[in-house]
Amino acid sequence: MTAIAHPTPDALLAAYATGSLPQHYALVMATQVSLSDDARATYEAHQAVGGSLMANGRGEAVSDGLKQNVLALLDAPVHEKPRQVRKGPLPGPVMEALNGAEPRWSPLGMGIRQCIIGADRHGSVRLLSIPPGQAVPDHGHNGMELTLVLQGSFSDETGRYGVGDLEIADADLEHTPIADPGETCICLAATDAPLRFSALLPRLLQRVFRI
């Protein structure tokens, strides 16, 4: 097994496994677990801890009819919507969030495109498409920004990120991610607060494009 350059912090996968991450971040983590065996191993290790706590804790007697109810339903037909599967560089959880539709890209300038998957008062999650060699304007963060690479790679002040790698940027980091030469870099990025761009023009863009 090759060493991973940017191991995802245990606490982040714990927060995802235990269900305490907000929805936008949870989408990024579900996608990372789909892409990275290392992330999956950590995620499943947390399930083991959760399972142990659940199975070795005090039980509460269930009502008399519960078991009979369950047994009676075992053969009942289930109408469950099938889960969306991977399409090109977009893993299943992303396709699920897009309801199976193609991403609707909108230009951000300089060849960069985005597709907002979800945005509310808690923040946003979006796909970003960055042409090879192109830089994303220098920006800081108000909250935590999670950026997961789905295709290609990018580099910034903190290193190089390839498919399945997650960059965690907090308020302390000012960075200028640049897509590496070769393939168009596609990322899934979630923030819990609007980004603040350093340059004036991007700040205007920020309002227009809801970054």
Partner 1 sequence: DPEFSAQTVWMLAVRDRRDRAAFEALFDDFAPRLKGFMMRGGMGAAQAEEIVQEVMLTVWRKASMYDPARAQVAAWIYQIARNRQIDVIRKERRPVPEDIGGFPDPEPDGGQVLAVEQEAGALKEALARLKPAQREVIEKAYMGELTHQEISDQTGLPLGTIKSRIRLGLERLRHELKDMR
- Cβ 23 to partner 1, closest distance in Å? 6
46 in contact with partner 1 (CB under 8 A): yes
- Nearer to partner 1 among residue 43 and residue 161 (C-beta): 43
79 to 98, contacts with partner 1 by CB under 8 A? 83, 85-86, 91-93, 96-97
200 in contact with partner 1 (CB under 8 A): no
Rounded Cα distance, 91 and 34, in Å: 7
Rounded Cα distance, 102 and 104, in Å: 6
- Cβ 2 to partner 1, closest distance in Å? 11
33 in contact with partner 1 (CB under 8 A): yes
47 to 66, contacts with partner 1 by CB under 8 A? 47-63, 66
Q: Which does 169 bind (CB under 5 to 8 A by kind): Zn ion, partner 1, none?
A: Zn ion
- Tokens describing residue 175: 């960075």
Helices (H) and strands (E) in the chain, counts: 6, 11
Rounded Cα distance, 35 and 91, in Å: 8
- Cβ 152 to partner 1, closest distance in Å? 20
- Nearer to partner 1 among residue 52 and residue 198 (C-beta): 52
Q: Which residues contact residue 34 at a Cβ distance below 8 angstroms, ignoring those fewer than 6 apart?
A: 40, 86, 91, 92, 93
Nearest to 139 by CA among 101, 100, 83, 191: 191
Contact 179, 130 (CB under 8 A): yes
Contact 128, 114 (CB under 8 A): yes
Q: What single DSSP character describes residue 134?
A: P
Stretch that binds Zn ion, among 108-116, 125-133, 142-150, 203-211 (CB under 5 A): 142-150
Q: Which does 3 bind (CB under 5 to 8 A by kind): Zn ion, partner 1, none?
A: none
165 in contact with Zn ion (CB under 5 A): no
Q: Which does 112 bind (CB under 5 to 8 A by kind): Zn ion, partner 1, none?
A: none
Q: Which long-range CB contacts under 8 A does 37-41 form with residues at least 24 apart? A: 38/4, 38/7, 38/8, 39/8, 39/13, 39/164, 39/166
Q: Give the binding site for Zn ion (CB under 5 A).
A: 6, 145, 169
Q: Catalog residues that contact partner 1 under the rule CB under 8 A.
A: 1, 9-12, 14-15, 17-21, 23, 25-27, 29-31, 33-34, 37-38, 40-63, 66-67, 69-71, 73-74, 78, 83, 85-86, 91-93, 96-97, 144
